[in-house]
Amino acid sequence: MSGPVEIVLIVAAVGYVLTRRMLGEPIVAKRMLLLPVVLIGFGLIDLVKGPQSAISIGFLAATTALSVVLGLLRGASTRVFEKDGVAYLRYTVMTLVLWGVNIAVKVGAGVVLGSIDPGAAQASSTGLMFTLGAGLLAEGAAVLAKAVRTEGRIMWAKGRDGQPHRMSPTLDQLQQRARATDASRVDG
């Protein structure tokens, strides 16, 4: 994927996620897991298209690890609540700050990599989708971990054209186990 097209897709994906989540939305597990996996897949395809230097691979590993940590922190800072029997999420100011830190880290790493190995600067941009997807997947996992402890059910997929929302028996079972564990801690 070319640089400008990739950047437009990334800006669109981040803008979409930020806007919806700042407003507050139902937690839809499929969306929280599928978009990041697609981004990781596109990122991997870009990464294997050409040779990568050891330095660029090291920077990719470091920025991916930082994106995952920041994704987990974003998930921890996200407000999860029950509304009308459904689990919802809403970004907080801290979540937005962590997004800013994540973007600054990625841009800063690209500048540092470009100054150390000018030939590897392109590799930094090709890893952008991969690291973004990894961070979003970590965030989604953290939010879902919080959501299983709420009273609201977690949707697997939103219903379309008046159809009911699809729920996941696996997520329902996880919620039942989490509630039972929480209840035993309170009683014990």
Q: What is the pLDDT of residue 127?
A: 81
Q: Which residue ranges in the chain fall short of pLDDT 50?
A: none
DSSP string, 35-95: HHHHHHHHHHHHHHTS---HHHHHHHHHHHHHHHHHHHHHHHHSEEEEETTEEEEE--HHH
Is residue 21 a contact partner of residue 32, using CB atoms and an 8 Å limit? no
Q: What is the pLDDT of residue 62?
A: 92
Sketch the domain layout of the chain as residue ranges: 3-187
Q: What is the pLDDT of residue 76?
A: 98
Smallest CA-to-CA distance from 126 within 45, 71, 9 is with 45
DSSP string, 118-176: GGGHHHHHHTHHHHHHHHHHHHHHHHHHHHTTSSSBPEEE---TTPPPEE-HHHHHHHH
**pTM of the predicted structure, to 2 decimals:** 0.86
| pLDDT tens digits for range 84-110 | 999 999 999 999 999 999 989 888 888
Q: What is the pLDDT of residue 9?
A: 78
Q: What is the pLDDT of residue 147?
A: 95
Q: What is the Rg, in whole angstroms, of the alpha carbon atoms belonging to the chain? A: 18
